[in-house]
Amino acid sequence: MLVLGVGALGWYGSTNNAKTMEAEVTEAARAAAEGTVHPVMTRVSGRDIVVSGVANGEAERDQILAAMNDVTGRRVVRDELRVLETASPFALNASKTADGVTYAGVIPTEVDRATLAARIGAAADDLDLMAGAPDSAWTGVVMQGLDGLAPLQDGTMDVSDRTVSLTGTARTPAEDAAARAALSDLPDGYDTSIDVTVLDDGTPLRLAMDLAEDGAVTATGKVPAALERSALTEALARDFDGELAQSVLPPATDGWADASKIGAEALGKLHSGALRMTEDSLTLTGAATPDAKAEAEALLAGLPAGISASSDIALYDDGAPFSLEMAKGDDSAAPTGKFPADLPAAEIIGTRPATGIRNAFVSDETGSFATVASNGAEALSQLENGKLTVVGTEVTLTGTAKTPTEADAAMALLGDLPEGYAATFDIATRDDGTPPNFDVTYLADQGASVSGKLPAGLELSGIAGALGLADVSGEPVQGLIGEATQATEQLNAVSGWLPELETMTFNSNDDVVTVTASAAPGVDEGLVTAGLTEALGANASVTVTAMTDLPDDGATRTNRATGRAERFTNGFWLPVLDFVSDAETCEAQSTAALQDDKINFVSGSAQLDAQSVRAVNAVAAIVRKCLAETDLNVEIGGHTDSQGGDDLNRQLSQSRAEAVRAALIARGVAEADITATGYGEDQPIADNETAEGRAANRRTTITWYEPVAEAEEAAAEPEAGADAAADKDNTTNAGE
């Protein structure tokens, strides 16, 4: 208690009455109690002051009492103050766990408690009211510290004197930043110590998976903690490279993990592609077969609610251009290539094996490839052998065509290609396309040689066969066009006349035939000309002249048309014979000669026809030899059919027999040893009622006889006349 001096009281009492003094002391005491940390109450009785309330420590108590003692007029100061203990350090702790926040520590004032209570509730009641707060800003700093603790998932906030410590765990950088921001503007003199572990980077869930054409998959992103890598691997049906961060945050959309597995499974269906997922959307792009595309799109249709899906899946293509390679030839391989999806192989390659053709999954939007490939296949068909290659817009056709006509047709098919296409050609031709034009040059003693261009199918052996020759020589060009049949028929027509020719040039120019020839000695060139013209037809031009450059008498040769050895005798080519002459042999030889070659006449006349010369030459050689080597004589008999009168027939037969006799005499047969007799129709050998019989009856006969016996018989029966000739021993017939 404070005791005022007696002198002062005496002075005061002398100047004021008691009530006035009490009021003044009361007012002065109240004023002295202002400005304390905690509420301080004063009560004045008379001049005594009673001080009660809370003093914020001994120092403040001393200050309060000193102030009361300084009140003028006071008598006694009675101390009823409650002095707070001083906390050192002056600290408050807040600990945050999954169960909530707990608080421990001190509070500077009840006002501050009330302030904190508004924030932390009843927990503020458990704080100890103590002195020692470093300043009046301390409670505000605590509030800032609590603001820093609030964003954290867990942690501890301590305010100790003027140091604020914050430790704990933030779920994302956003919470970490919020915590730090709360403590970024502390009053001067305050320090901070912040140690916050950030559990998550704060970015949203995401998944990026890329499937390369080689099947490799890489992945990046951030997925829920509950989504295991193995689940994505199983969905993809393959492993993948890359790291996935796992979020501590729950997905913003339920079913995110399931959606990611569905997306991964859909990606695994593609040939190549990309999967992109965000918090609420899934996008799938890439390329796939039609079936795989349908499967992937069906999977995306089953995404959980809340996840939107979009896809852009093209049909897979390996990037190689559409192509076709096909060949024509004996050992051609099956066509190969890549066709648009909607182009059937058979439409281009027909019935060829299609095992080497694969259809892409994409179509040719322009339709140009089908046109080019079809035209190319048709162009290849024009060639005899070759190869067609279509790669993208480049077309190549190589090979061999029969003629320029086929080559031009092939190139024309590829001459007007769609825009952007280009064609190159390397086509040889086996035939120059000109009509067949060949010459056969024949020499009776050398045979035939061929030059020029033959029609298709006509070879040297065919020419030899058509001409009746053993062979022909020459190196003609083998043509691939023209008709071998027509040329063969023309040569066949000529072959029957070769024995009558010494030389011949046969030219066949397409369907026009020109024959220039020289007739063998004794052959009527006019008759040969007429015969060849008739045989060859209207398109033939025939010129036959007489042989002027004759060989020396005695010259020999082998006639290539007949195969006979011949000797030039008396201006004629007669066969060289080798037999022993007697009546029987001579008759056999003459019979054989007239069987091989007939003696015929121009109709209604005694003129030998052109082809009878070969028979006459053969008979002449036999008769010459037999007459020279025996005592035989020979009779030439002429015979007719029954058409016409007897006298006319007998006269005609006599003239024809004499014509043959004259021809034989011209060839060196002794005139005295040969006779001619016309028998008319008297000695038929066949029925004259038929054409065949009449033809057989028109004939020339050769009869061998011994002249002495003939003479005696004639003397004994002179009246027999011409009829006696029919009884001669050896007679040979030659039909007309």
Pairing type for strands 217-224 and 48-55 reads unpaired
- State the first-to-last Cα distance of the chain, in angstroms, to the nearest integer: 195
More confident residue, 729 or 135: 135
Question: Mean pLDDT throughout 411-440?
Answer: 94
Please write the tens of the pLDDT for every residue from 605-642: 999 998 999 999 999 999 999 999 999 999 999 999 99
Closest residue by Cα to residue 203 from 219, 220, 222: 222
Average pLDDT, integer, range 502-525: 94
DSSP secondary structure code for residue 695 in this structure: H
Q: Please answer whether residues 324 and 294 qualify as being in contact, where contact means their C-beta atoms are separated by less than 8 angstroms.
A: no
> Is the predicted pLDDT of residue 726 greater than 90, yes or no?
no
Model pLDDT, residue 11: 43
Domains observed in the chain: 6-83 (3.30.300), 91-198 (3.40.1520), 206-315 (3.40.1520), 323-429 (3.40.1520), 437-546 (3.40.1520.20), 577-735 (3.30.1330.60)
pTM comes to 0.57
- Cβ atoms within 10 Å of 279's Cβ, excluding its own: 13
Largest CA distance in the chain: 241
Give me the mean pLDDT over the 415-426 stretch: 94
In the predicted structure, residue 71 carries a pLDDT above the cut 80? yes
Please tell me the predicted confidence (pLDDT) of residue 331: 72
Look at residue 463 and tell me whether its pLDDT is greater than 50: yes
> 247-251, 494-498, 583-587: which has the minimum mean pLDDT?
247-251
CA atoms within 13 A on the CB side of 482: 28
Q: Is the pLDDT of residue 5 over 70?
A: no
Residue 711: how many CB atoms within 10 A of its CB?
10
Residue 380 has pLDDT above 90, yes or no: yes
Question: What percent of the chain is modeled with pLDDT above 70?
Answer: 94
pLDDT band at 480 (very low <50, low <70, confident <90, very high): confident
Q: How far apart are CA 618 and CA 614, in angstroms?
A: 6
Residue 16 has pLDDT above 70, yes or no: no
Secondary structure of residue 106 in the 3-state scheme:
strand
Res 188 pLDDT > 70: yes
Percentage with pLDDT > 90 across the chain? 84
Cβ density class 236-271: b for 16+ within 10 Å, e for less: beeebeeebeebebebebeebbebbbbbbbbbbbbb
* Residue 306 pLDDT > 60: yes
Torsion angles phi and psi, residue 716, rounded to 5: -70, -35
Beta bridge partners of 651: none
Residue type at position 239: D
Can you give the three-state secondary structure of 498-523, one letter per residue? Answer: HHHEEEEEEEEECCEEEEEEEECCCC
Indicate the pLDDT class of residue 709, thresholds 50, 70 and 90: low
Provide the pLDDT for residue 250: 84
Mean pLDDT to the nearest integer, 382-391: 95
Alpha-carbon distance values, 36 to 32, 100, 136, 303, 440 (Å): 9, 36, 12, 69, 151
- Output the pLDDT for position 42: 94
Confidence of residue 493 (pLDDT cuts 50, 70, 90): very high
Please check the confidence at residue 560 and state whether its pLDDT lies above 90.
yes
- For the segment 399-408, the average pLDDT, to the nearest whole number, is 93
Asked whether the predicted pLDDT for residue 154 surpasses 60, the reply is yes
Angle at 573 between CA 568 and CA 575, to 5 degrees: 100
pLDDT class of 668 with cuts at 50, 70, 90 = very high
What is the DSSP pairing of strand 556-558 with strand 540-546? unpaired
The four Cα atoms 521, 523, 525, 530 give a dihedral, to 10 degrees, of: -160
The rounded distance, in Å, linking the Cα atoms of 266 and 131 is: 69
**The one-letter amino acid at 6:** V
Among 494-503, 678-687, 717-726, name the one with the lowest average pLDDT: 717-726
Q: What is the pLDDT of residue 3?
A: 38
